[in-house]
A and B are shown apart, each in its own frame.
Chain A
Amino acid sequence: MTAARPLVLIVDDEPQILRFLVHALSASGHDTLTAATAAQAETQVATRRPDLVILDLGLPDADGKTVIEAIRAWSDVPIIVLSARDQEMEKIMSLDLGADDFVGKPFAIGELLARIRVCLRPRREGEPSTRFRLGPLEIDAAEHRVLRDREPVHLTPKEFELLLALAETPGRVLTHRQLLTRIWGPAHADDVPYLRVFVGQLRQKIEFNPGSPELILTEPGIGYRAFAAR
């Protein structure tokens, strides 16, 4: 049995962007829906239950972020935000509101398709897995153990938590705030320098070349993402 083609809702007020995205997504095995306004987008999500939403933040009738909030109120559908390169704050707020990832405009289609693949990867069912792979690393969450090429790597508990948070969702960006809240608690949600120090230490221990990291990638001004195998 062949898997059904995933249904992608594209929300953008620029007809030209919709035009090439529809062609590109159809050619890469997706079905598409389009919406040009926030109101249309919310109706489409509710009635057609798409598998993924691609959302432009600049909509004529409302801010794209309000759409994220409206969808997240009742649905876990993955959302990828399209935004201009210089709008760091917009990206961070969208991710913190529950968007899964972002792609900066202008973008090459390969980048968007890679993000779509990450977001559409099947969610793990039943018992949450306790073993993850990240490049050459094997991470055992239950035993708090990390092996690199079968050699144990010694991490402090906080470093381990950080690695685990990133490895659980490979390829997906986590904002500074999300990581800080998860590992150090809400009181430290804004201590970005703190996080930077720990990421630096972690890279020293797990990267082959900490100067040009390949396992934990920086999204400048926004957060970090773990390397995702294609």
Chain B
Amino acid sequence: MPEPPFRLRGPTVSGAVLAAVSVALAAGIVLAWQEKLPATTVPLIFLMAVLVSAVLSGFWVGVATAAAAFFVMNFLFTEPFFTLQVSRPQDIVTLGVFLCAAGLVGSLAGSLRDRAEAARTRAGTLAILSAFSARLAEVDTRDAALAQAVAHLSALAGGDAVAVVLSDLPKPVAAMPALAELAVPDAQAAERCLRSGRVEHASAEGWQGAALTFLPVPDGTGLLALGHCRLSGADTAQRSVAISALVEQLALALRRLDASLSAAAARQDAEAEATRSALLASLSHDLRTPLATILGAASTLTELHDGLSPAARADLLAAISQEAGRLNLHVTNLLQMTRLSRSILPRLEWVDVNDIAQSAVARWQRAFPHAACQCDLAELPMIRAEGGLLEQMLFNLLDNARKHGTAPVTLRTGRVEGGLTLAVADAGSGPAKGLRDWLEGGQMWPMAEQRGLGLAVAKCIAQVHGGRLQWSDGAFRVFLPMQADP
């Protein structure tokens, strides 16, 4: 912070009163005890009055008191009395020496007092500024930084302070004391300040116009200004320099916050991008493998038709139809996932979960003729759900058991408190830790290392029905809540 030039405290009304009172008091004392006091003490008593008023009110009051004391002494206590004339030469010397001594004492004592006071206020503003920097280092949002700035600005200016953001109109975003709207002249001043990028000073005391001085904050947006009340007192220059320093500190802190926020956002984007492309790679593998078989087998049939045995032709045709089914499964899952990720609500109707379970198992066995499943279905009430989605969910869980688990696969349904459970279990060791965590977590799209969309779709379907999918007691369990009657 640059040092403002030291300025003596200006004369004030109270200073003039003090000068008059102290000179009058000295004159009164001398008049009251004129008989008992030796003549030589008279100048000393007046000197005392000059010293007291200089110490209490500063340089200019000290000098003025010295001048007044000179004239009063001349008027009252030097012959001829009650005139400003001096008849005796030794009185001229006494008065001359008194004037010099009083002037020196008054000016020295007064200026010392002014310096001490200036040092005190400088220490005060420095303390406020350093407290502000300490707080700024801790804040992690823009709003918190502005609140701190306004609080410390109010302390520096000794009154109201406000932070203003220009949107359509200047709007206070933080204020001390709290403020919902700026007064019209203040709003206009804030706008002028932001449009021109220069300090807009408050109008003088008692004049119409803005009550607040506005300073633009160079935080890179050009839309933020700080306002503070009029400064008054001898240390105005000092405090105004401190206020500029506060504005600069705030601007730096806001830029730092912006930079760290955009760095965090960029990091998040990059992570999301990596997840997306890994997911896309795994999805494209799922689609490409059946496609490669279909294209290869079909082109073999057309190009090498005559060289193939009837059994080979039948096998190729079977491969095409199986792989087309697999492709269809992937595409269905992809479409379901897209639909569910847009949070389109299911079309609820009354369904029997056991019927759905049986049809899912039948469809699964049609698709994979060698797959086998043992069903254990309990008596269940009807629930409201979208049957097609539930069937897809069970199919995906069965298919997951077939691909990644160990036979035999079992499907169990049952009632629990508040709803139904559907459990698909196999004899394998269950999913890896990462996958179990993903089931519990809020992430909807599958992890990159997950092959395919089957489990992600199953999880989504359970969730859109108000239920959940989890791994417990050696089985994938879906909990579906009982819906209240419509």
Contact = CB atoms under 8 A, between A and B. Distances in A.
Contacts, number: 73
A23 B316 contact: yes
B316 A17 contact: no
A24 interface: yes
A106 B303 contact: no
A105 interface: yes
Nearest to B322: A16
A16 B293 contact: yes
A23 B300 CA distance: 8
Contact of B296 (A24, A28, A86): A24
Interface stretch (A107-115, A167-175, A184-192, A210-218): A107-115
Contacts of B308: 23, 27
Interface in B248-302: 284-285, 288-297, 299-300
Given A16-B319, A84-B285, A106 B300 contact: no
Main secondary structure of the interface of A (DSSP, over half): helix
Q: Is the interface of B mostly helix, strand, loop or mixed?
A: helix
Instruction: Give the most central of B289, B290, B308, B316: most A CB within 10 Å.
Output: B289
B315 interface: yes
Nearest to B312: A23
Contacts of A28: 304, 307
Contacts of A84: 284-285, 288
B323 interface: yes
A107 B296 contact: yes
Given A16-B290, A17-B296, A110 B319 contact: no
Interface in B133-161: none
Contacts of A23: 297, 300, 308, 312, 315-316
A208 interface: no
Interface in A16-36: 16-17, 19-21, 23-24, 26-29
B292 A107 contact: yes
A110 B295 contact: no
A14 interface: yes
Interface string B302-329: 0110011000100110010011000000
Interface residues of B, number: 24
Nearest to A13: B289
A103 B312 CA distance: 24
Contact of A19 (B288, B290, B299, B319): B319
A106 B315 contact: no
A110 B299 contact: yes
B327 to A, nearest CB: 11
Given A23-B312, A106-B288, A17 B293 contact: yes
Interface centre among B284, B290, B293, B295 (most CB of A within 10 A): B293
Given A27-B308, A106-B292, A107-B292, A20 B303 contact: no
Contacts of A107: 292, 295-296
Contacts of A109: 296, 299-300, 303-304
Contact of B295 (A19, A58, A106, A113): A106
Contacts of B289: 14, 16-17, 105
B288 A108 contact: no
Interface string B221-241: 000000000000000000000
Contacts of B290: 16
B282 to A, nearest CB: 12
Interface in A99-156: 105-110, 112-113
Given A27-B304, A28-B304, A109-B299, A20 B293 contact: yes
Contacts of A105: 288-289, 292
Given A14-B292, A20-B316, A84-B288, 12 more contacts: A16-B293, A16-B319, A19-B316, A19-B319, A20-B293, A23-B316, A24-B296, A84-B285, A105-B292, A109-B300, A110-B299, A113-B303
- The 5 lowest CB-CB distance pairs between A and B, nearest first, are A27-B307, A106-B292, A108-B299, A24-B300, A20-B297
18 contacts: A14-B293, A16-B289, A16-B290, A16-B319, A17-B296, A20-B300, A21-B296, A23-B297, A23-B315, A23-B316, A24-B300, A27-B304, A27-B308, A105-B292, A106-B294, A107-B295, A108-B303, A109-B304
